[in-house]
Amino acid sequence: MQYRPFGSLGFDVSALGFGTMRLPLVGSDPAAIDRRLAIRMLRHAIDQGVNYIDTAYPYHGGQSEVVVGAALRDGYRAKVRLATKLPIWMVTRPTDVDRLLDEQLRRLGDEHVEVYLIHNLARTTWPLVKRHRVLDRLERAQKAGKIGALGFSYHDSYELFREIVDSYDGWRVAQTQYNYANEKVQAGTRGLEYGAAKGLAMVVMEPLLGGCLANPPPAMAEIFRCAGPQRTPAEWALQWLWNKPQVGVVLSGMGTLDQVEQNLAAAARSAVGGLTEADLAVVRDAVRAYAGAIPIPCTACRYCMPCPHKVDIPAAFSLYNGVKGFGGAQGMLNRIIYQGHLAQNQGGLCVACGACMKRCPQKIDIVSWLRTVHEDLSRKPALGH
């Protein structure tokens, strides 16, 4: 494992961090984590040098924190820096900050977390921080020894990111969505560089854009296949991030033991400045191919769910992106899958209530896209002769 300085906090973190929003499941219920496998994966990653674990109040219906706490028993807690997040949208009065933090510590079975982030700061939630004196409450929690470094996770514009960073001297960590397809999306490259220049530890989430960059459309896959040295599409995306000195830790939401093994191997090969100019040119070619292949920038974070009208929004978007990005037999199969799920996936069930759009970190026009998805995928595929 390679290690990197973590902002101005005076310790190093593993290049690869374990994000726990996509743990393995038993069945289709997001809260039904396969505890045995998840614990095995987390402990194996820690045994191989991963020392940064990231979770949050809403992940897996509240069960992520519980499973992470279980995985960190038996001596594993002392080996990692643990981060979790305050669900700022649930704060309606200052005392909610204390109540939610205490609930999280109980779930984790812990008395302290090294990093505590305000979850998903954006133009709609930033005013809540000021209105309910959230930072005052968190500073008290710091003095009480419940939390260490303060920070925030973020899904909004660069301009607001800079405003938030400059508004408070106590920030130590910023977690942003960042990958080679998102250099100009949300805070983007400018946000990464600005935060790092201010001494913040920069944590990267969605390095594979919800898996889209790990399983890219054929045109992208061909670009990577022809390039040398040979790397999987996922490793190309990860190494592009680790190439940057501003990146502290890259979080990966690993759902299988095989994904853990692959990412550990990639992290062992990571280095600042590890990519050549020829490598970077390959990635630029892949960006151009991706821009023309995937129409909906959904990361399958599922913040939009549950839909009150039973539309599985991420599934519908994934099927549509597969049709547009892959075409051929995969596109045909995706249409059949869509048409065969009368009680889910179907964008035609959407009544345009807009509840999902208020929660989407990507600011996707979900209602309009569901209409487009349904009009396209509900058409019967043309049969050849």
pLDDT at 380: 67
In the chain, the percentage of residues whose pLDDT exceeds 70 is: 95
Give the mean pLDDT of 305-318. 84
The string of DSSP letters for 166-208 reads HH-TTEEEEEEE--TT-TTSTTHHHHHHHHHHTTPEEEEE-TT
Please, what is the average pLDDT of the chain? 91
- The secondary element (H helix, E strand) that includes residue 3 is strand 3-5
3-state secondary structure of 217: coil
**pLDDT, tens digit, for every residue of 258-293?**
999 999 999 999 999 999 999 999 999 999 888 777
- Asked if residue 384 has pLDDT above 60, the reply is no
In angstroms, the CA 357 to CA 364 distance is: 7
Burial class (CB in 10 A: 0-12, 13-18, 19+), 75: exposed
Q: Which two tokens stand for residue 291?
A: 């821009």
pLDDT at 349: 81
pLDDT at 341: 60
| More confident site: 50 or 155 | 50
- Asked if residue 370 has pLDDT above 50, the reply is yes
Domain ranges for the chain: 3-291, 313-377
- Asked if residue 383 has pLDDT above 60, the reply is no
Do the beta carbons of residue 321 and residue 212 sit within 8 Å? yes
Alpha helices, DSSP H, located in 72-149: 95-108, 126-131, 134-143
**pLDDT, tens digit, for every residue of 322-353?**
777 766 665 776 777 777 664 455 778 888 99
| More confident site: 69 or 316 | 69
Alpha helices, DSSP H, located in 251-312: 257-268, 277-291
- Residue closest to 239 by CA, chosen among 273, 212, 281: 273
- Beta-carbon count within 10 A of 327 CB: 14
CATH of 3-291, one of 3.20.20.100, 3.40.50.300, 3.40.630.40, 3.50.50.60: 3.20.20.100
Residue 75's pLDDT band (boundaries 50, 70, 90)? very high
Q: Which two tokens stand for residue 186?
A: 């949300």
**pLDDT, tens digit, for every residue of 32-48?**
999 999 999 999 999 99
In angstroms, the CA 248 to CA 195 distance is: 11
pLDDT at 345: 58
Residue 314's pLDDT band (boundaries 50, 70, 90)? confident
The one-character DSSP state at 200 is P
Q: Which two tokens stand for residue 237?
A: 């995306």
Taken in order 125, 160, 61, 357, the sign of the CA dihedral is positive
In angstroms, the CA 21 to CA 65 distance is: 10
In angstroms, the CA 183 to CA 78 distance is: 35
- Residue closest to 244 by CA, chosen among 282, 192, 199, 302: 192
Contacts of residue 259, Cβ cutoff 8 Å, sequence gap at least 6: 252
